[in-house]
Structure 1
Amino acid sequence: MSEAAAVRRTRPLFALRPLFALRPLFALRLALREMRGGLKGFYIFLACIALGTAAIAGVNSLSQSISETIASRGQELLAGDIRFELNNRVATADERAFLQGLGDVSVSAGLRSMARLPDGSNQALVELKAVDGAYPLYGKLESDPAKPVPELLAKEGEIFGAIAAPLLLERLGVTPGAEIFIGNARVRISASLVSEPDALSDGFGFAPRLMISSEALVASGLVQTGSLVEHTYKIRLPDPADVPVIRAQAETRFPSAGWSIRTSGNAAPSLNANITRFSQFLTLVGLTALIVGGVGVANAVRSYLDGKRSVIATFKCLGAPASLVAMIYLSQILMIALVGIGIGIAIGAFIPFVAAQFLAGVLPVSTAFELYPSALGLAALFGLLTALTFAILPLGRARRVPATALFRQQGFEPTGFPPLAYLTGAFICLAALAGLAVWTAYDQYISLVFLGAIAFAFIVLRGVSLLISWLARRSPRVHSPALRLAIGNIHRPGALTPSVVLSLGLGLALLVTLALIDGNLRRELTGDMAERAPNFFFVDIQSSEIEGFRSLLAGAMPEGKIIEVPMLRGRIVALNGEDVNSRNVPPGGQWVLRGDRGITYARNRPENSKLTEGSWWPEDYGGEPLVSFSAEEARELGLKLGDTVTVNVLGRNITARISNFREVEWESLSINFVMVFSPNTFAGAPHAWLATIIDPDASAQEEAAVLKTVTNTYPTITSVRVKDALDIVNTLLGQLATAVRAAAAVALVASILVLAGALAAGNRARIHDAVVLKTLGATRATLIRAFSYEYIILGLATAVFALFAGGVSAWFVVSRIMTLPSSFLPDVAIATIILALVVTVGIGLAGTWRVLGQKAAPVLREL
């Protein structure tokens, strides 16, 4: 509908003053009539809201999909209704009788070991799992060829059956039917493993799976005193609803058992926690995209209302109060926002279905299309609050357009702050948006820091734009007319400088931050850390073997430095006498209490750590048990000197008092422990040894020779080549980085949309400037050069800010949170500058090309 038609249709209505009593309904009618002309001017608004809403809806829907699938398939993922896990010991007769009285029991054992070819020519680290004939109680193990598990693991003569993961076959260079050695047992690979029902509940493994029978594990000789082996008892109950009662009975009857109890309702807690953390991170990135898009919303609303100046002036000429005008356009903004939110929710609803096609073989996700109303509703609320937060202020300025603007469009530009009511409304919406982000966060502290960083970034970006304008205003006069015009455009009233800097600043800064974190981690894993790390870890060295092993290793790698320490496994069960399950522990310290920890004892302080508080015990100390605790983890757990820590080791609860705190260099990958006890704590306790060897100059051939020698001589000792483990971590890091980059790309796309919106919002002023300059003799080529110079200057300034802000953020994350060395990467800087220039100049010229073709007469008539 034309503006004249809108005026004719509304004139009789304004004459009826009583209708103002029904102002909201009246405003809605006028808003609907005016929107008959289409959504021109609101496309960027729609894109910004839809993009951010889709990101939040998709991430939370996918997270909820995985969590619900884990909950619904809990029995299968756990391979039982309830699971009891003991480390380094089997259940006692009383414990076993209790477990067998609950229902059907399946017993398994898990440990790391070495698989080797009969001729000793090749070997590989494996995650060994020994199961009995009842496995699995729930779910189905799939293999190729498909046969019952007992048949595949059956013993033929002196050879046991085994099921191997395809990766193990590849590493050993064998096929099903081949024979290998596990410890002292000879096994034949009867099938390749396709899927294992309880793999996720068993946790992440650094090596491929090899499954054997419990009988084969006994024959291997791998389970000895102090061996790091997990014994698991999975039970199928007559009534799964009895799980809470049984768990309480087990804890009451056997308070010192030290077993870890897990139920089918919490089959994979670590996976759940990691997915929740990662989805929170991606949600915050999506919220960044939404907030950046909010700037685009403000620009789009300002641009749209700027084009409606004559309509607003007409309304006021006909007697409409400013509040009615604001209500009309608020109704339009809300309707358009709902359309954008609807588009975003529709896209977000499909993201789990699409992602499931790629994740089905890795994570427990449903491949059926399902809706997750809570996740979609949360995204809709974020989108609505963002739209209102950033649309209210431009709306408040638009209501001040006077009736005289109908006759002279270039004669009035709204300045100053909007009315107090609009400022208050925007503040309330902003507070609600921040409160929602904190309330729904897994780690509220991280969410608060994130929101504070965003707020600080907005302030700094505003300061950067003011600094650029100030420098442009005070720059020396240049001879080039195009460059002089570009510099003038940067600091003149109504310049695009604040919008461009804010538009690209956040997106580029986020991109630089993530790129630097990723680059530093990769460099550390493949470079510095790999060079500082030991060549090998050797696990499960028996006391009877330690002397011979030391001599063998010294001969195999003469230049290597050998370090060996006694090692046990223990679970922290109480802090200061309080059960750890009843404590509210921050996420950063939960890993210490989750599962068993490696522990050791020592007379002297470990050489790779330093005391931060307290003192070390004397070499001949014989008093109450003492413990040295890692300082960082102690802070997370709220511990102080003199506090007590109770650990369960081999079925016994041992309480020790904290004597000192140590700063541990975890990134060195050398032998480190959260807890180091005084030697008298475990006097006489059976244990194995852990050893490392360090030789930075050793070649791959020398390392292969060491691995072969140790494995063939001591088949029960597990050898872990650190570089192989780092390669696995690097691969996982690459997979996570892909998701992070995709999320960062969403924020960058939002920034580009905002930049396009900023240019659209300034089109009227650009048209005016271009027409006046062309009338005064400027050519189109001169104007193009001027605009190009302007966008290049702004792009370079924004890139400099992004490099600084991203560099500081990445340094803080890598250096302070990950405690790794951090450095600035020049290739990231160059890529950022190029990207900033391409985006600003490309979009800027695309947006101004139409401006240069405007006819002069229509514009000059309005001056």
Structure 2
Amino acid sequence: MRLALRGLRREWRSGESLLMALALTLAVAAMTGVGVVAQRVDDSLQARAGQLLGADLVFSSERPLPAELRAAAQAASLATTSVAAFPSMVTAGTASQLCEVRSVDGRFPLRGDGASGRGAADSSAPPAAGTVAIDRTLAVQLGLSSGDIVQLGYSRLRVGAILEARGDAALEVFNVAPRLVMNQSDLQATGLIAPGSRVRYRLLVAGEPERIASYRSRVEATLPAGVRVQGLQDARPEIRNTLQRARQFLGLAGMASVVLAAVALLLAVQRYVGRRVDEAALLRCWGVPFRRTVTLHLLRLLMLGGLAALAGVALGLALQSLLALQLAALVGEDLPPLRWTAPVLAAANGLVVLMATAVPPLLRLQQVSPLRVLRDDLPPLRGLGWGAAVLLTLALAGLLIVQAGDWRLGLFTLGGFAAALVTAAVLGASVLWGLQRWRRSASSAAGTGWRLGLAAILRHRRRSLLQLAALAVGIMALLLLTLVRSDLIAAWQASVPSDAPNRFVINLRPDQVPQLPGLFAAHRLPSPRAYPMVRGRLLAIDGRSVDPAAYADENTRRLVEREFNLSFESHLAHADNRIVAGRWWREDELDQPLVSVEAGVASKLGIDVGSRLQWALGGRDVTVQVQSIREVDWDSFGVNFFVVATPGVLAGEPSTWITSFHLPADRGALERDLLQAMPNATVLNVGELLERIRSLIDRLSAAVATLAWLTMAAGTLVVGATLLLSQDDRLREAGILRTLGASRAQLRGALLTELALIGGLAGTIASACATLAGVVLASRVLDVPYHPGASSVLAGPLLGIGLAVVSGWLVAGRGVSRPPLALIRQS
């Protein structure tokens, strides 16, 4: 230990360990900054998305929920609210309307803010006894305002607030009726709850993410039959998709830092081990066992790594504080507090990367001969073996998956970087072979600088290939986190168009559908298309009765327990539907018993083209054949159905109609006129849902753009480490060439030629690999359309040349102007 401390102190004073310490410090700082900011932004995303559920967790059942659920939540210091939901008629004067009553005994919602108007000083507090809060739609339908009286059952209650937002919008967008919220103490007096009443009991739970996760894991396995639990991952497809992509983009930012950290450390360790060769030879002359030599170096590295990791954590925390302030200014609110999981994980990851990159090269010191003390012309150490390469790859793969939080994203990204390395090596070797042939045939007109630069590249083929591969990986990471990231996020933002439908109209009668064009024309808006809906229950698949208990997945069990909304169409007019198997029916098949099934439902239920499905429709059973499987773009917010049939299947069945449209902010009168003309219809406002999803995307875009600067700093470190690895050889060669009479201009031209060629080739390879990785990530992981821009293709070579020339000149440029003797002595 004493010898290790003495050696570490000597190396630190001489600056030999500075590169490795700097690499590890910046690596841990980048991982800490990315990890902490990603955690805080993710917590913020969860909190904001939780506003759409009205809580972090929602338990629901058609029977009263076990008291133990609430007791366990309260014991875990979680906030709870009990809700009883049921349909009922509400009357104001001579007008009446079906509504969805929510009887609450505490704050509602637990997440978000949905009330406005007089009497709504605390919008999340339950309505006071004797008062109710009603949806804006219900207020318009009954002509109500705050202070008016409504009749609910046997009770007369005063309207205390108008609800602008649905506090649990992500649970079910298509609630059948507008909402009325009342105090649970008033429920018994209404006389609405009796044995056999249709009541849905819910328990809303909210709290810190760790406590919510722990609580859910404890109680979920013991839930009685019929009790359903919903979190954000169980919410509407639009919300689930948005949050999933958010985590994937943040994971991509973190993974780039991990890859760059590993590359920078690997290069720094190579330089460190190269400078330990003479010391290892001297220790062997003194009879020191090789095991003790390796232990000595590992102790030095662990001490150096521990100090660098602590410095990196401190720097990363300082950086994330600045980033948090910037993000808070961008999104208009403070981020949640940090959790110490990310800094500890970053420090551990840094040490793991250090050991994974340091141990294999250190084991090569066993090859050092004691004769090296007397002879400096012995052959260099052999490179890393297959075992070391596998160890490093496995360590990096594990870190990438941990950092990404998604094994697919981690493996795809690792594959992209591995492809960049292999491509750089293969193309680099091919280019070097071509340069060798060109150099032999080139005349002196090429210039001395060009010839010297090419000679340096060809003389050190291994060094050139290493620099080429490292630069390609570093530039690829930078491109992924800047240009390609911008293209992907732009494609994601475009997936929720600005004119996406923000109103749904349900419960339309068939005779009311022809009135829609005239009503919309009066407000100078295009008439939307309406779709029929018929309720049906799935009875059997290919002759086998559908048993919910046969499905392990809870969502699948709930799917087959409930009735489906079926529709019928002659032609596939949905732009957001795509046939992936089978075909759409022809004109002569419209009276045949055929259906088209959404791909996700088909996969869950084991349905394929040709499957025969038995449905209960009203008073009759119908057997149909699956003609096609469709993929549905749920992000479009249009009207879509899991099952679409030919008109002949549903002919004569009682149906209601549904439509959706985009209502501009200045055309609000259309909604009022529509409800007055069709009082039986219900207008659902999902504009809030759309705005919150867009807000999630904007917040994430700002976060990833800020995180990219940390990754760019790590990428710059890779470039510097790549060039520092060959600093000694460059200085020695510069000294020899100056001694032989080379001018400063010739040396300058040689250095710039070497750097520009390596940087340009590395940038070209990185640009191609980053573009390909963007296409694969977009199609296979993120599920967004992606079309690479010209900037993504052109930026790679320019960035490679610029980084290589600037960094290389800073590292090796002094060899051009210094005296030859000083250069030879230093090298």
Please report the TM-score for the alignment, with normalisation by the length of structure 2: 0.71
Q: Counterpart in 2 of 1:32? A: 5
Selected match of 1:498 from 465, 468, 471: 465
Query: What letter matches 2:3 in structure 1?
Result: L
* Mapping for residues 462-861 of structure 1, pairs under 5 Å: 462-476=425-439, 477=442, 478-493=445-460, 496-513=463-480, 515-516=483-484, 518-519=486-487, 522=490, 538-540=504-506, 542-543=508-509, 546-553=512-519, 555-556=521-522, 562-567=528-533, 577=546, 579=548, 583=552, 599-602=565-568, 604=570, 606-608=572-574, 609-610=578-579, 612-613=581-582, 618-621=589-592, 627-631=595-599, 634-635=602-603, 639-641=607-609, 659-664=626-631, 666=633, 671-677=639-645, 688-691=656-659, 710=674, 718=683, 732-815=696-779, 821-857=785-821, 860=824
Q: Distance in 2 between matches of 1:553 and 1:676?
A: 28
Q: Give the 3 Å change call, closer, same or farther, for CA 343–600 of structure 1 in structure 2.
A: farther
Matches within 5 A, 1:173-192: 182-187=140-145
In structure 2, C-alpha distance between the alignment counterparts of 1:361 and 1:687, rounded to whole Å: 48
Q: What is the alpha-carbon distance in structure 2 between the residues aligned to residue 830 and residue 394 of structure 1?
A: 36
CA 1:679–1:245 in 2, change beyond 3 Å: closer, same or farther? farther
Residue of structure 2 in register with 1:49 after alignment: 24
Q: How many angstroms does 1:349 deviate by?
A: 6.5
Pairwise CA RMSD: 6.0
Q: Structure 1: which 5+ runs fail to align?
A: 1-27, 111-127, 165-178, 216-229
Shift in alpha-carbon separation, 1:763–1:637, aligned structure 2, 3 A: farther
Q: Deviations over 1:177-234 (max 9, x none)?
A: xx996334333599999999x958956999xxx997569xxxxxxxxxxxxxx99643
- Between the aligned partners of 2:422 and 2:264, the Cα distance in structure 1 is 17
How far did 1:581 drift? Answer: 9.6
Q: Deviation of residue 768 (structure 1)?
A: 0.8
Q: Which position in structure 1 is the counterpart of 2:358?
A: 391
- In structure 2, the residue matched to 1:226 is none
Distance 1:510-1:731 versus aligned 2 partners, 3 A rule: farther
> What is the SS of the residue equivalent to 1:661?
strand
Query: C-alpha distance in 1, partners of 2:518/2:241?
Result: 43
Distance 1:491 1:336 in 2: 36
Aligned partners of 1:338 and 1:384 also within 8 Å: yes
Whole-Å Cα distance in 2 between the matches of residues 78 and 525 of structure 1? Answer: 22
Q: 1:335 to 1:593 in 2, by over 3 A?
A: farther
1:431 positional shift: 2.8
| 3-state DSSP of counterpart to 2:731 | helix
Report what 1:147 is aligned to.
121
Contact 2:57–2:231 under 8 Å retained in 1? yes
Q: SS of the residue aligned with 2:121? A: coil
Conserved? CA contact 1:540–1:690, under 8 Å: yes
1:150 to 1:460, Cα distance in 2 relative to 1, 3 A: closer
Contact 2:328 2:334 (8 Å CA) reproduced: yes
CA distance in 2, matches of 1:356, 1:748: 18
The residue that corresponds to 1:106 in the other structure is 83
**1:297 matched to which residue of 2?**
265
Distance 2:800 2:311 in 1: 29
Distance apart, 1:273 and its partner CA: 9.4
- Say if 1:105 and 1:134, in contact at 8 Å, map to a contact too: yes
- The answer (yes or no) to whether the contact 1:106–1:234 under 8 Å persists in 2 is yes
Among 291, 311, 317, the residue aligned to 1:343: 311
* Structure 1 position 638, deviation (Å): 5.3
Deviations 1:136-175 (A, max 9, x none): 279598789973559997899xx997799xxxxxxxxxxx
SS in structure 2 at match of 1:690 = strand
**Amino acid corresponding to residue 46 of structure 1 in structure 2:** A
The residue matched to 1:663 in structure 2 has which SS? strand
In the alignment, the residues of structure 2 paired with residue 64 and residue 793 of structure 1 have an alpha-carbon distance, to the nearest angstrom, of: 41
1:347–1:653 distance in 2 versus 1, CA, 3 Å: farther
Distance 1:195 1:557 in 2: 23
**1: CA distance between counterparts of 2:295 and 2:333?**
48
What are structure 2's unaligned runs of at least 5 residues?
Answer: 72-80, 88-98, 148-158, 184-197, 206-211
Q: Distance in 1 between matches of 2:399 and 2:573?
A: 47
8 Å contact 2:112–2:167 — kept in the other structure? Answer: no
Decide whether the 8 Å contact of 1:592 with 1:633 is kept in 2. Answer: no
Q: Alpha-carbon deviations, 1:574-603, whole Å to 9, x = none?
A: 997354895369xxx999969999843215
Distance in 2 separating the partners of 1:133 and 1:461? 63
Task: Find the counterpart in structure 2 of residue 176 from structure 1.
Answer: none
Deviation at 1:434, TM superposition (A): 3.0
For these two proteins, the number of residue pairs brought into alignment is 751
Give secondary structure in 1 for the equivalent of 2:340.
coil
Q: Deviations over 1:687-721 (max 9, x none)?
A: 54223579xxxx98998897787577558553879
Once residues 853 and 822 of structure 1 are traced to their aligned partners in structure 2, the CA distance between those partners, rounded to angstroms, is 49
Q: Give the conservation status (yes or no) of the 8 Å contact 1:292–1:503.
A: no
Counterpart secondary structure, 1:187? coil
Q: Partners in 2 of 1:731 and 1:791 — Cα distance?
A: 44
The AA in structure 1 aligned to 2:552 is R
Tell me: CA distance 1:571–1:262, structure 2 relative to 1, closer, same or farther (3 Å): farther
- 1:55–1:348 contact (8 Å) kept in structure 2: yes
Equivalent pair of 1:350/1:369 in contact (CA under 8 Å): no
Rounded to whole Å, the distance in 2 between the matches of 1:712 and 1:335 is 77
The amino acid across from 1:318 in the alignment is W
Distance in 1, matches of 2:43 and 2:531, equals 43
* 1:183 partner SS: helix
Structure 2 CA distance for partners of 1:136 and 1:829, relative to 1, 3 Å: same
Range 562-571 or range 28-37, more displaced? 562-571
Identify the range of structure 1 (594-603 vs 847-856) with the bigger mean alpha-carbon deviation: 594-603
1:753, distance to aligned residue in structure 2 (A): 0.9
2-side partners of 1:653 and 1:51: how far apart?
Answer: 70
Counterparts of 1:658 and 1:154, CA distance in 2 = 55
| Contact 2:45–2:243 (Cα < 8 Å) also in 1 | no
Indicate if the aligned counterparts of 2:255 and 2:404 stay in contact, CA closer than 8 A.
no
Displacement after TM superposition at 1:552 (Å): 1.4
- Contact 1:534 1:669 (C-alpha < 8 Å) held by counterparts: yes
> Shift of the alpha carbon at 1:855?
4.0
Query: Would you say the 8 A contact 1:505–1:799 is kept in 2?
Result: yes
CA distance in 1, matches of 2:268, 2:804: 18
The partner residue of 1:444 within 394, 399, 407 is: 407
| Structure 2 SS opposite 1:416 | coil
Q: Name the structure 2 match of 1:136.
A: 107
CA distance, structure 2, for counterparts of residue 314 and residue 542 of structure 1: 91
Alpha-carbon distance in 2 for matches of 1:701, 1:82: 33
Label 1:858 to 1:439 Cα distance change in 2 as closer, same or farther (>3 A): closer
State the SS of the aligned residue for 2:446.
Answer: coil
CA offset at residue 764 of structure 1? 0.7
Distance 1:269 1:718, change over 3 A: closer
How far residue 565 of structure 1 moved from its aligned partner, in angstroms, is 0.8
In the TM superposition, residue 771 of structure 1 has moved relative to its aligned partner by 0.8
Of 456, 462, 483, the residue aligned with 2:419 is: 456
Q: What are the within-5 Å matches in structure 2 for residues 412-431 of structure 1?
A: 412=378, 414-417=380-383, 424-425=387-388, 427-428=390-391, 430-431=393-394
The offset of 1:846, in angstroms, is 0.9
Q: Measure the CA separation in 2 of the matches of 1:591 and 1:734.
A: 35
Pair 778,355 (structure 1): closer, same or farther in 2 beyond 3 Å: closer
Distance 1:328 1:702, change over 3 A: closer
* Residue number in structure 2 paired with 1:4: none
- Is contact 1:154-1:213 (8 Å) kept? no
Return closer, same or farther for 1:37/1:59 CA change in 2, 3 Å cut-off: same
